[in-house]
Amino acid sequence: MSSIKIRPITAEEFAPFGELLAPRDQPTKMINAGRCERHHALATVERSGGEAIISIFRSEPVSLPYDCTLLERHPLGSQAFFPLGPDAWLSIVAPDDGGRPGTALAFLVPAGMGVNLRAGVWHGVLTPLDRAADFLVVDREGAGVNLEEVSIAPVTVLP
Ligand SMILES: NC(=O)N[C@@H](O)C(=O)O
Ligand code: NI
């Protein structure tokens, strides 16, 4: 059984898999008579046909060490997760290696930050840490098979 250590997420390290969803250092523009910062277009919703939909995932947590045995991807659309609560959470992704996941990476996503997984990116299913949590999820619904799951040899995610 292999293991990986959780690491703090950075835009650079996450760039091959998607974008971070958090206010930038500076707003794109001020709106609403100057009362509101617009941090514009942090990511785009990718979809091959179908519709972009908005859902809430109310998920049970996992705890570290966590054995990841399943990865999945959505070839027809991106999938964005934004935590609605106050906790940091775990995002597991992996590069593609000839149609199967390569070596997984585990990121600690701080409270108040989401991620947008680009279409076709291998990832673990939603993993709040230690406490159940609600997430706003933006992804794609429509014709076609948009969920590919693979079982992997257990990868233990360590603190
Ligand atoms: N299957 C589903 O709706 N959720 C997963 O895609 C996930 O990434 O959690
Ligand atoms: Ni998914």
Whole-number Å distance, alpha carbon 57 to ligand 1 midpoint, is 9
Q: What is the pLDDT of residue 18?
A: 98
Confirm or reject: Cβ of 125 under 6 Å from ligand 1: yes
Check which CATH number belongs to the domain holding 117 and give it.
2.60.120.480
Q: How many structural domains comprise the chain? A: 1
Whole-number Å distance, alpha carbon 56 to ligand 1 midpoint, is 11
Q: What is the pLDDT of residue 1?
A: 81
Q: What is the pLDDT of residue 7?
A: 98
Angle value at C-alpha 83, between 80 and 88, nearest 5 degrees:
115
- CA pair distance 78, 83, nearest whole angstrom: 17
Confirm or reject: Cβ of 70 under 6 Å from ligand 1: no
Q: What is the pLDDT of residue 38?
A: 98
Q: Is 135 left (phi over 0), alpha (psi -120 to 50) or beta?
A: beta
Whole-number Å distance, alpha carbon 159 to ligand 2 midpoint, is 23
Tens-binned pLDDT, residue by residue, of the chain (159 aa): 899 999 999 999 999 999 999 999 999 999 999 999 999 999 999 999 999 999 999 999 999 999 999 999 999 999 999 999 999 999 999 999 999 999 999 999 999 999 999 999 999 999 999 999 999 999 999 999 999 999 999 999 999
- CA pair distance 51, 22, nearest whole angstrom: 24
User: 40 lies in which domain range?
Assistant: 2-158
